[in-house]
Amino acid sequence: MRKYLVLAWLLLPLPVVVMHFGRGQEWLARDKAHSIIQRAEAAEKKGEWQSAYELYREADRTAGSQDRQLKLRLDLARARTGFRVGEAVASIDGMDKLLDDAATATMPAEFQQETHELAARLHYYAGWVMRLEGAKRELWMEEAELARQNFRLLSEHYSDPKNEDQTHRQKEDLESAVQLQRLSLTELMARPLPEEGRAMSGQGLSEQMGKRRGQRGKQPGRGPNDKGPPAPGGGMRRFQPGSGS
């Protein structure tokens, strides 16, 4: 009897040990990641982009891959800050992967909307900057077309009729994406490049995109909730390659 009591006493801490090295570690990592995220968000609000970007990366490494929703939100945050600190191409790729990820369609509508908005802006300013850099037409036009597709999707599926400011802004964004494709280079150069676009300048976008030509932009677009083809006019017909700006 005494032997069994001793054995029971020895086994008593086992659940605690299992919890400590199993789920307990996951919870600790998640708590630590959230603490880092709070610091990253504070830095982002102050415009301290490099610090925010590094903190989001640290949070991503700390959180691991168990919490899928947290992982997606960190991917978005890294893209949102990364393009401002010399990681424009990585940010664009990150947004494309987010939109292609089936898990994104299971996220709240607000997250999906923010994802499309950021993707649209990154493609739009990438196309603008690449035109100014003298990139070939098929390179900058791909970015302009992807911007148009995302802006169109936002105006068709993420628009609140009661919010006139939002509706007006979405309409202007879509028109701007169309104009980016139609304006002459001289007309474009006469326009001031917005702050987000200036952040992407000097990163060699045209050279990097040119090296990867044919590896991206193979899908013409997506419909609402990233399912099926886009609505008519949503980009099913790709641009016609050509030369010049």
CA distance 23 to 37: 21
When mean pLDDT is compared across 3-12, 123-132, 166-175, 236-245, the lowest value belongs to 236-245
For 38-52, the pLDDT digits (tens) are: 999 999 999 999 999
pLDDT at 99: 94
The mean pLDDT value of the chain amounts to 81
CB 144 within 8 A of CB 123: yes
What is the model's pLDDT at position 235?
Answer: 33
More confident residue, 3 or 197: 197
141 closest CA partner among 181, 175, 95: 181
What is this structure's pTM?
Answer: 0.77
Is the confidence at residue 138, as pLDDT, over 50? yes
Q: Please give the Cα distance from 103 to 72 (Å, whole number).
A: 8
Counting beta carbons within 10 angstroms of the beta carbon of residue 149, is it exposed (0 to 12), middle (13 to 18) or buried (19 or more)?
buried
- Output the pLDDT for position 216: 47
Confidence of residue 1 (pLDDT cuts 50, 70, 90): low
Question: Which tens digits make up the pLDDT trace of 155-188?
Answer: 998 888 788 888 889 999 999 999 999 999 999 9
pLDDT at 130: 96
Confidence grade of residue 228 (pLDDT, cut at 50, 70, 90): very low
Instruction: Identify the pLDDT of residue 19.
Output: 42
**Whether the predicted pLDDT of 120 surpasses 60:** yes
Per mean pLDDT, which range of 90-94, 121-125, 136-140, 222-226 is the poorest?
A: 222-226
CA distances from residue 7 to 15, 16, 18, 20, 42 in whole angstroms, order as listed: 14, 16, 18, 21, 52
Angstrom distance (rounded) from CA 205 to CA 16? 53
**Can you give the pLDDT at residue 217?**
43
Q: Give the pLDDT mean for 196-214.
A: 87
Decide: 149 and 221 in contact? Cβ < 8 Å.
yes
Per-residue pLDDT, 115? 96
